[in-house]
Copies of this chain bind each other. A is one copy, B any other.
């Protein structure tokens, strides 16, 4: 009876721990999917802006400004999805290209995010003036910041 009781407690504890582990894993999966979703939203708007900046499609000042505003509205959002345990090689359920070294370079990341969000704010502001050349330059600055992080912290 003593043994039975002991086993029951151990079993209950194991079940509780297992439940906790599952909840945490789900949270991490959600965080990865959240940050990927935020990047996808930005990419959707960034695409046509890039095509305009490169002269592949006609520059439509209103459309460009609307999409610049959308990128800027989301620019501050993905970062809270980069949580401990959510990187490549961590034991979670979602595919990610986010390299593990992100966890060890928080100061650099934070500096990059600050620069990026300042640049998207500038882009949204400049785009409203409707001048192609300055819009193109502000766009290039943002694109360059995207690339900087991707080159350093994304595995592809």
Contacts and interface: CB of A to CB of B under 8 A. Distances in A.
B70 A44 contact: no
A77 interface: yes
What copy number does this chain have within its complex? Answer: 2
B34 A40 contact: yes
A93 to B, nearest CB: 16
A44 B40 contact: no
Interface string A39-79: 01100100000000000000000000000001001100100
Contact of A33 (B33, B40, B73): B40
A30 interface: yes
A8 interface: no
Interface residues of A, number: 14
What secondary structure prevails in chain A residues at the interface with B? Answer: helix
A77 B66 CA distance: 11
Interface of A: 30, 33-34, 36-38, 40-41, 44, 70, 73-74, 77, 81
Closest 5 CB pairs of A and B: A37-B40, A37-B37, A34-B44, A73-B73, A37-B41
Given A33-B40, A38-B41, 16 more contacts: A30-B44, A34-B40, A34-B44, A36-B37, A37-B37, A37-B38, A37-B40, A37-B41, A37-B44, A41-B41, A41-B74, A41-B77, A44-B81, A70-B77, A73-B73, A74-B74
